[in-house]
Amino acid sequence: MFQQADMFSAETPHPMSRRRDPETSRIAAERLWASGALNEQQKAVLEAARMCPGGTAVEIAQRGRIDRYAVSRRLPELQRKGQVRRGPPRNCSVSGRPQCTWRTA
What does the domain layout of the chain look like in residue ranges? 4-104
Give the pLDDT band of residue 95 (cuts 50, 70, 90). Answer: very high
Q: Determine the 3-state secondary structure of 88 from DSSP.
A: strand
- Which tens digit of pLDDT belongs to each residue from 48-85? 999 999 999 999 999 999 999 999 999 999 999 999 99
Q: Which residues pair with 84 in a beta bridge?
A: 104
pTM, 2 dp: 0.80
Contact between 71 and 34 under an 8 Å Cβ cutoff? The reply is no
> How far is it, in rounded angstroms, from Cα 3 to Cα 32?
15
Q: Which CATH class is domain 4-104?
A: mainly alpha
Which residues fall within 8 angstroms of residue 26, CB to CB, at 6 or more apart? 2, 3, 4, 7, 17
> How far is it, in rounded angstroms, from Cα 72 to Cα 86?
12
> How far is it, in rounded angstroms, from Cα 2 to Cα 26?
7
Q: What is the separation of C-alpha 65 from the centre of its chain, rounded to a whole number of angstroms?
A: 14
Contact between 29 and 22 under an 8 Å Cβ cutoff? The reply is no
- Which tens digit of pLDDT belongs to each residue from 41-50? 999 999 999 9
